[in-house]
């Protein structure tokens, strides 16, 4: 398969990612599941990676702005708790970041609503993962430890329950 020249840009001032000068917008869990499934079915790893990159950049920017406006939240563990609460509060699922240090570690995606949709709507039975969640985690960890996007990478994912999975994160 030929490599795509994906012309994407992230505007940190507007917290917006564009693909060929068109905004990438995510809406509901169902929309995200259909979008992810369509992209995965294309078989092109560069397009799959865009989902995580967009999520990483927007989450990193959002949380960096939040932590800058709340200078009292300096403890790294408190920052990680904020990341998990935001993920849950937005309705994406449940994260456990207790296994994360500044050097990486294990993230437990206790429940991913998108994985649930993939399994129930698309009858998936394999090791499903949510690429948006993966990016959210990378952006959240980066903001918690005041690192730039790309400082961390996901090196392994594995299923551990019906709608959750574990992610091993390391420095890139």
- What are the residue ranges spanned by the domains of the chain? 51-171
Question: Which CATH code for domain 51-171?
Answer: 3.30.1380
Look at residue 91 in the predicted model and tell me its pLDDT: 81
pLDDT at 27 over 70: no
Selected residue with higher pLDDT from 36 and 7:
36
Residues 35 and 41: their CA atoms lie apart, in Å, by 10
Look at residue 29 in the predicted model and tell me its pLDDT: 74
Mind listing the pLDDT tens digit for each residue in 105-145?
Answer: 999 999 888 888 888 888 877 677 888 899 999 999 999 99
pLDDT at 94 over 90: yes
Residues 52 and 144: their CA atoms lie apart, in Å, by 18
Residues 16 and 53: their CA atoms lie apart, in Å, by 12
Mind listing the pLDDT tens digit for each residue in 58-70?
Answer: 999 999 988 998 8
Neighbours of 87 (CB within 10 A): 21
């Amino acid at each position: 398969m030929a490599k795509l020249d994906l012309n994407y840009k992230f505007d940190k001032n507007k917290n917006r990612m564009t693909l060929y000068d068109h905004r990438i917008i995510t809406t509901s869990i169902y929309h995200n599941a259909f979008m992810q499934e369509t992209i995965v079915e294309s078989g092109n790893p560069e397009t799959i990676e865009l989902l995580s990159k967009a999520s990483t950049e927007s989450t990193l920017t959002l949380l960096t702005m939040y932590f800058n406006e709340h200078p009292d939240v300096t403890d790294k563990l408190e920052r990680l708790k904020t990341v998990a609460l935001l993920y849950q509060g937005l309705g994406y699922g449940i994260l456990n970041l207790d296994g994360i240090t500044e050097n990486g570690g294990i993230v437990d995606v206790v429940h991913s609503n998108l994985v649930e949709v993939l399994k129930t709507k698309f009858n998936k039975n394999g090791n499903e993962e949510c690429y948006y969640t993966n990016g959210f985690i990378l952006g959240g960890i980066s903001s918690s430890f005041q690192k730039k996007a790309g400082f961390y990478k996901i090196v392994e994912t594995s299923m551990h329950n019906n709608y959750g999975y574990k992610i091993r994160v390391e420095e890139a």
